[in-house]
């Protein structure tokens, strides 16, 4: 299982590419040099999942401005992703790739696969341009994520990468003060 601080091994899987309205291979190494947000979810044609994926679609241009690609991942096939995209008004907004993981290989690689159910936990991974995981979050299937918060975490991850020796305090947003790692701050915050 890939963890924070580890480099993601290359993988390849089928995906539905809404911008091209096509199904093809998605190879993780093709995204080297970019930030990647992987958004694992349990299944298409469900309840919470479309609200999350639609919200990610609403913020997609903001992610792209940050040099990031969003990729959603479920254990459905690429054909099911296409059918869902064609059928749902919210999912029709999606322009980012929708990775198909029907055998659960990618979900197992990231430790999100629920063996007894054949689906993935809800999980988010932010991966830096070197392919290293800098953020991971996994939680119960009944709780939806916030695309705005994922974007904030991406921006904080970018900031600390671009500013060595700096860290971002709670709820940090671009333009707010970051902290310099220093013994001078110990016990004073």
User: Would you name the residues annotated as active-site residues?
Assistant: 49
C-alpha–C-alpha distance, residues 57 and 1, integer Å: 28
Intra-chain end-to-end CA distance of the chain, in Å: 36
The residues, ordered by sequence, that sit 6+ positions from 30 with a Cβ below 8 Å of its Cβ are none
C-alpha–C-alpha distance, residues 134 and 157, integer Å: 7
Give the count of beta carbons closer than 10 Å to the beta carbon of residue 170. Answer: 4
Please report the DSSP string for 166-189 in residue order. Answer: EE--TT--TTS--EE--GGGTTT-
H/E stretch holding 59: helix 48-65
Angle at 114 between CA 7 and CA 46, to 5 degrees: 105
What is the CB-side half-sphere exposure of residue 163 using CA atoms within 13 A?
15
């Amino acid at each position: 299982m890939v963890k924070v601080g580890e480099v993601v091994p290359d993988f390849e899987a089928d995906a539905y590419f809404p911008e091209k309205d096509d199904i093809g291979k998605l190879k993780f190494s093709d995204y080297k040099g970019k930030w990647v947000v992987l958004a694992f979810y349990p299944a298409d044609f469900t309840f919470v999942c479309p609200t999350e994926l639609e919200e990610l679609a609403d913020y997609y241009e903001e992610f792209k401005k940050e040099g990031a690609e969003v990729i959603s991942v479920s254990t459905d096939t690429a054909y099911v992703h296409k059918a869902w995209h064609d059928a749902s008004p919210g999912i029709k907004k999606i322009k980012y790739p929708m990775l198909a993981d029907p055998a659960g290989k990618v979900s197992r690689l990231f430790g999100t696969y629920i063996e007894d159910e054949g689906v993935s936990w809800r999980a988010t991974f932010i991966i830096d341009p070197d392919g290293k995981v800098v953020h991971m979050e996994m939680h119960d299937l009944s709780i939806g994520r916030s695309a705005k918060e994922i974007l904030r975490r991406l921006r904080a991850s970018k900031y600390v990468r671009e500013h060595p020796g700096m860290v971002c305090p709670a709820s940090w947003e671009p333009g707010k003060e970051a902290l310099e790692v220093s013994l001078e701050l110990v016990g004073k915050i």
